[in-house]
Structure 1
């Protein structure tokens, strides 16, 4: 880069010319039309094109005009663009007389970024509902400001022939808009209309087309209580009337989803406010171009069926984000279930033919289209917690925008993620490309989804992993897959160390040491036991386990995770002895012989691996108070217990249960005794739940105070799925600073295992740097 010509020398030259490279999310967001029109306004001659590095501009004109042009490029890009860098080099004036958009080029190392899919913009929405517009009633209306991007692109540069729109030749009207620099569809690659673009079709479970107008047919079917599979941007949704209890029960039965909450889609924000509390920040998030599912507090006394979110006072809500969704809501329904189109925890269905096979036992009818989904991408999930947007699932709307981390040049590093809520990360030159939500890997289909998504990402970025970081658990499928990736170096990464590094990297602090408070369900420790309530110190290279919850045996291992009452029995017998055994008989005697088996397992230490997981402590308390004795989805007991907390000033005054810390071990003996005593005294469950949460918070505070005094560290990083608990998140951010600590939380990736891959990648990079540089 050279400085722009200035002063008298510039005026003597008369004209200057620069080759400008704009890097970032600058393809598929209307950047070339923006450059074209800006150049004309500034009197600049030359050209603009898409290339592997980004957008390249040949700009020639008067020095002041070129300066204004470059300032505007950096300061006022299109709304969906993200400019990471603008660089330039001087060239001899060529005498350009006009400005043009020229054909894209490839070949060089790819640095440009594919934009994420974004929700329907107001202009396209207006056209979709304007009877006089040629896009009236068209389910695929889009422009440079909205529509599919990541889900349809195969490789860069981002041009129509390299997307799934390549098979749809443009009609004259669409071609005219596409080639008109003054039109907002100028070079919008998914541009289409009813004449030339994709088409929607309603078919039955056998794939036979249903005659008649598709919208009216869908409304009639939903009114009858039928379940539809609707093909959206990144995969299929399963849809039914959110007010029909019979349809909800049937969907749960067919989908194998006993209690996990369903997401719903509401017609508009007014409908959302009818059922849920909605503050300004939540409204902004809900209506943003990313259009995530937002976890909202339900209004008491509404007529929503309990089958939507059993045992919860919250509801996951999103708004329509494609023309297809908006058109469905022109009928009699203002609230529809819009849940992931899969069976149980299998990958999201995305191909029409496979959807018939995979969802044929769930959906009665299929509303699909003939535009291929190249990259599967589930809906993102977010919540506003203590005034901060927290991503619980980072996928559509955010992927594949990278997380910037201050690492230098080096190899491409893959963090392959965990076993649950899997995502992977490709780290390249300080940009961490975190994948869409992959999900659970406990099925062959999950492994195939991870592997195919990784191959697609690598092709899209034109890179291959050279270094791999993976979880040290010997039985994780993700770790086995990591060993199959051809790479020069591989590094085992401890689960909770990866959480700490993820939080540090998320905050751009990869060189800083901190106290990590990592609270989650489970993670494999170097000692071969299951960790999960960890106070560690360290950085992105290494860590030390400072304090942890005392381990308690899990009778039956995974069986105890699915049956929290088993964990409750383990806590009772471990800490309260014979009194605990009598309490177990009184509370869980209905399990009969199974309770006797659990007792024998604990007595003999057979198939009862020790665990110090925070999630298991939550399981035990949730089972003791009768909130959740059988768990059908990850974190169910903890979530339902958290819903009972008094999240107000009075809740903080309810006090804590006893606990102790000796030689780095936090004992919950007094906590369990206190919970049992309150139960026997008839204390309300809400009070017990709040006191328990206060106790966990006080355990954290006391442990952090001691570790801070011993190490001198004053920065605390909070990571792990437990920190998605609103009450603990807010209270920790309130109280730890009172003890003199700076608190770091996640901002761009989830605190749960969906952010694990970022930490793995950064740790692997640091270890490679130490060994090889």
Structure 2
């Protein structure tokens, strides 16, 4: 070609192990392009030669028609001298400096799903069917580069038929590292707790046990699930008893969207999320008179629902069940079980049988959980399907390891303008979860090839994550205030720099003054902050006991609002507190015995839930607030309770004593609980808007970020968002990481890195 041109194309992102090179090969053949494609540790390099028109179409299709699991972060082109030739080749990989990107675990693609149920296909009903467009990645990779010997598929040599597919660039299984078939791949077994095989076809027998109301532990992509028939009251009740999980909602798995619509009311966005390659758990509003056992999600208006994302799930569910409970394979507060011997030991007294296989899970990954807010996903837990995707940051920082806080543990590794959050690790309250934190840190550092220059952790001195950071030798440590990290996390994922107003509402965070913060109005950015306002502090009656028993917080707020005579109020739940306990509680409040002051908004929700008779004790974190929100959603009242904002020389205090008095009067008068709950949400949104307006008048800031676990509450978040927007504020919420402590490590990383870059 006399007008031939040659272009070198450098592509970064998730472009390895997702069929990208054969995609480029086929694309080059289609456009009549000569040259080659090659993996590097930084991504993919392509040299493409052809006339200008064909080259332009080829480059456009690289991004416009990329494989479903590919994520292109950057694409750079450079014109180089033509070399001639008409062939296009796939070259062997070579090493080079640069960040490594590993693909998350994906679902089953339509092609593989068709083959799974095609009696004429050699992989008919094979529970490990996969190709370059789907299947496990992050959970089975042991090292980089992403090649079969560096995965848990290494023990399974390819048969001749699979090798032919694996080596053919025109085949969708070209270099699909987990590729296998019944002849050469992993095998399925149904066993008892002693690892003894149970007779019959494993899938058929497991399905039979589930139909009989039995509990089956199912080994999935990133760990074990405990499964029962979701429509069987007795089975769900027995699972709760054995798992020691009294009321916390169970996740459901339905075979398809048609089945989901029989028990839930998904909208178009929720259906797209359910069917996306990540297949998260999505919170869906319950359909009235749905067939699911009421014990699956008691006192809750939503079902956490997902679709099958592994071939084995499809085999278990199709044409058999409307939905299965698919809850994490663990006892309460433990990490999800993922190693076979460990699972049999830990789940022996829960499961009646174990549906297992011999493909090892290298990295445990719990299911991701999402709810939809204003048409966008809002993560409650970011894990399988999304990890280890990068989050782009608006500033560049040195290499940092951030280890999160205590609840909803995650880590973050960041360098330059890229941050990678780990999968959900769990609540760091025991040695097992701490071990998981250490394993995750080592594994992710190895995959990313990142050696941190400093480590960031929470300001709280007693968190296990703080102790973990202190145990890392040599590295400098940066203690980051909890709510500052929340503010920075929301700023970072929204690409914000400079200063903003941060409304940070959560349950607990160690404050600079040594008290328990949680209802904060901050002004600042990555370099620092000041506390511009907060909710009025009340005693945390009994310390941690107040988290488990919301009625204690109601007592604290009543004491603050009415004084020592509050036990004389005509409230039914107050009469349930024994005469012997009353003087003890009163003494604790008056003398602040084991009752440190707190500004926590999470504890305010608990107080209102108890005050209005919703719940005085909880069996899981956030239960009272969730049930208060569900109750409020049933009312359309626009009423607002009175409140006050009290200013001093340095900050402001939101005082809800007037609201508490009005709530107590309404509760005594028998006002419907839904109206009281909705009015409380309205009041909190109004108070947030008022104080933000006062801060704007002083600081001139009109950008507000909303972060902290309380902003998982959709009703409150929508109310605050709209009220602030109506007053001309630019409001930012989380979309890429959770607002709860699961997103905290991102904020810790950018604060620590920003300070190091500035030499602070």
Q: TM-score scaled to structure 2, two decimals?
A: 0.96
Q: Corresponding residue for 1:45?
A: 34
Would you say 1:723 and 2:708 are equivalent positions? no
Does the Cα contact within 8 Å between 2:193 and 2:345 map onto a contact in 1? no
| Separation (CA, whole Å) in 2 of partners of 1:313 and 1:338 | 19
Moved more, 19-28 or 284-293: 19-28
Shift of the 681–230 alpha-carbon distance from structure 1 to 2, 3 Å rule, reads same
| Structure 1 residue corresponding to 2:553, chosen from 563, 567, 571 | 567
CA distance in 2, matches of 1:333, 1:582: 54
RMSD across aligned positions (CA): 1.8
Are 1:544 and 2:554 an aligned pair?
Answer: no
How much does 1:203 deviate? 0.4
Q: Alpha-carbon deviation of 1:586? A: 5.4
- Name the SS of the counterpart of 1:367 in structure 2: strand
Matches within 5 A, 1:630-641: 630-641=617-628
Gap change, CA 1:264 and 1:596, over 3 Å in 2 = farther
Residues 92-125 of structure 1 show CA distances to partners (whole Å, capped at 9, x for unaligned) of 555555222232233x334231111111111111
Q: Deviations over 1:726-772 (max 9, x none)?
A: 11111122111111111011111111111111111110111001117
Q: Which whole-Å CA distance do the structure 1 matches of 2:260 and 2:571 have between them?
A: 45
Match of 2:387 in 1: 399
Paired position in structure 2 for 1:712: 700
> What residue is the counterpart of 1:82 in the other structure?
71
Contact persistence 2:106–2:134 (CA under 8 A): yes
Match of 2:520 in 1: 534
* 2:426 match: 439
Cα distance in 1 for residues equivalent to 2:287 and 2:661: 35
Unaligned ranges ≥5, structure 2: none
Structure-2 residue corresponding to 1:768: 756
Tell me if 1:73 matches 2:62.
yes
Give the secondary-structure state (helix, strand or coil) at the position aligned to 2:394.
coil
User: 3-state DSSP class of the match of 2:21?
Assistant: helix
User: Does the 8 A contact of 2:281 with 2:306 survive in 1?
Assistant: yes
Asked if 1:182 is matched to 2:186, the reply is no
- Counterpart CA distance in 2 for 1:469 and 1:645 is 39
Instruction: Kindly provide the CA deviation profile for residues 510-550 of structure 1, in whole angstroms up to 9, marking residues without a partner as x.
Output: x2211000111111100000000111111111111011011
* Aligned residue among 500, 513, 520 for 2:506: 520
Give unmatched runs, 5+ long, in structure 1: 1-10
Partner of 1:495: 482
Determine if contact 1:262/1:316 at 8 Å carries over to the other structure. yes
The match for 1:282 is 270
CA contact (8 A) 2:564 2:586 kept: no
Contact 1:657 1:691 in 2 (8 A): no
Paired position in structure 2 for 1:646: 633
Q: CA deviation at 1:64?
A: 4.7
Q: Is the 8 A contact 1:719 1:745 kept in 2?
A: yes
The CA distance in 2 between the partners of 1:71 and 1:316, in whole Å, is 39
Correspondence for 1:430: 417
Q: In structure 1, what is the equivalent of residue 300 of structure 2?
A: 312
Matches within 5 A, 1:540-689: 540-583=526-569, 587-592=573-578, 593-646=580-633, 650-651=636-637, 653-663=638-648, 664-689=652-677
Task: Verify: 1:750 aligned to 2:742, yes or no.
Answer: no
Q: Report if the CA contact (8 A) 2:643-2:655 is conserved.
A: no
1:296-315 CA deviation, whole Å, 9 max, x = no partner? 11012223322111211111
- Given that 1:50 and 1:158 are in contact with CA atoms closer than 8 Å, whether structure 2 keeps it comes out as no
- 477-486 or 524-533: bigger deviation: 477-486
Question: 2:100–2:447: 8 Å Cα contact kept in structure 1?
Answer: no
Partner residue in 2 for 1:5 = none
Distance in 2 (CA, whole Å) between partners of 1:573 and 1:117 is: 52
Which of 130, 146, 152 pairs up with 1:142?
A: 130
1:355/1:646 CA distance change after superposition, 3 Å = closer
Distance in 2 (alpha carbons) for counterparts of 1:486 and 1:233: 34
Cα distance between partner residues in 2 of 1:62 and 1:486 = 57
Distance 2:201 2:380 in 1: 38
Tell me by how many angstroms 1:707 deviates. 0.7
Q: Quote the Cα distance in structure 2 between the aligned partners of 1:543 and 1:340.
A: 39
Q: Report the alpha carbon displacement of residue 83 of structure 1 after superposing the two structures with TM.
A: 1.2
Deviation at 1:331, TM superposition (A): 5.0
When residues 378 and 502 of structure 1 are mapped into structure 2, their CA distance, relative to the original with a 3 A threshold, is same
SS in 1 for 2:26: helix
- 1:455 and 2:442 aligned: yes
Separation of aligned partners in 2, 1:355 and 1:182: 40
- Kept in 1, the 8 Å contact 2:570–2:668? The answer is no
CA contact (8 A) 1:168 1:197 kept: yes
The alpha carbon displacement at 1:478 in A equals 0.8
Retained in 1: the 8 A contact 2:571–2:664?
A: no
Alpha carbons of 1:579 and 1:687: their partners in 2 closer, same or farther (altered >3 Å)?
farther
2:478 is the counterpart of 1:485: no
Partner SS for 2:437: helix
Q: What's the TM-score, normalizing by structure 1?
A: 0.95
Matched residue SS, 2:757: helix
CA contact (8 A) 1:26 1:112 kept: no
What is the distance in 1 between the residues matched to 2:258 and 2:59?
42
CA distance, structure 1, for counterparts of residue 546 and residue 360 of structure 2: 42
